[in-house]
Amino acid sequence: MKKILIVDDEEGIRFTFKKFLTSENFDVSTAEDFDEAVACISETDFDLIFADIILRGKTGIDVLREIKERKLNCPVIMITGYPNIETASEAIRLGAFDYIPKPIQKETLLHAIDVALQHKAVLDEKEKYRTNLEAIFRSVKDAIISVDKDLVLLEMNDAAKNICGFTRKDIGNGFNTLSNNCNGKCLEALTATIESKDSVDLNSLECQLNNRK
């Protein structure tokens, strides 16, 4: 069951949203202000959040900002009874998924939810794929390094640390400055790959690097 949070200082809005969305088989929580909203998102992983822009004290924009600062993978739909370009622009700039003026019709609400949840499903799948790749990257026994077009070291796996003697402090430095104590074959292959924009095969490569510090 998808979890939805409604943040609105109007009790009638919270009650109406919760009753309707519960009947549509959603698990609905409500909050009347910023502090309650923060408490909710600290305890529950929501699939979608609706936040009224105008609240008592801090605004729905503050709720949106808090969600983005926490890097939560959760779409936020802003709702307001007083739509204007300034608040809409601020909401979009901060990453709001949608911006809906009150009063909200049931069909509009359900359509917005459907689109937002589809978007979240795509984001979740991408994150799952990224996590799986990260696990593979970290666990393979072959050394893997990532460099940019200028041969600046961007990332490495644990095998690269053990085989090549790299440390996390080396990230951000030019690969050529880190390879002075080996035979340079890795550097040659990397340079050729970047210049040709194609893979380079090496028949054999003997690493002569020992205890680089």
The pLDDT tens digits of the residues spanning 35-46 come to 999 999 999 999
Across the chain, where does the E strand assignment appear?
A: 3-7, 27-31, 48-52, 76-80, 98-101, 145-147, 153-156
Closest C-alpha to 28, from 40, 38, 36: 40
pLDDT tens figures, 145-183? 888 888 888 888 888 888 888 888 889 988 877 754 566
User: What are the extents of the domains in the chain?
Assistant: 3-136, 141-196
Q: Which CATH number fits domain 3-136: 3.40.50.620, 3.40.50.2300, 3.40.50.10540, 3.40.50.1100?
A: 3.40.50.2300
Q: Are 187 and 195 in contact (CB under 8 A)?
A: no
Q: What is the pLDDT of residue 212?
A: 45
Q: What is the pLDDT of residue 213?
A: 44
> pTM of the entire structure?
0.66
pLDDT tens figures, 64-113? 999 999 999 899 999 988 877 778 888 888 889 999 998 899 999 999 99
Count other C-beta atoms under 10 Å from residue 127's C-beta. 11
| Residue 185: partners with Cβ closer than 8 Å, 6 or more residues away | 202, 205, 207
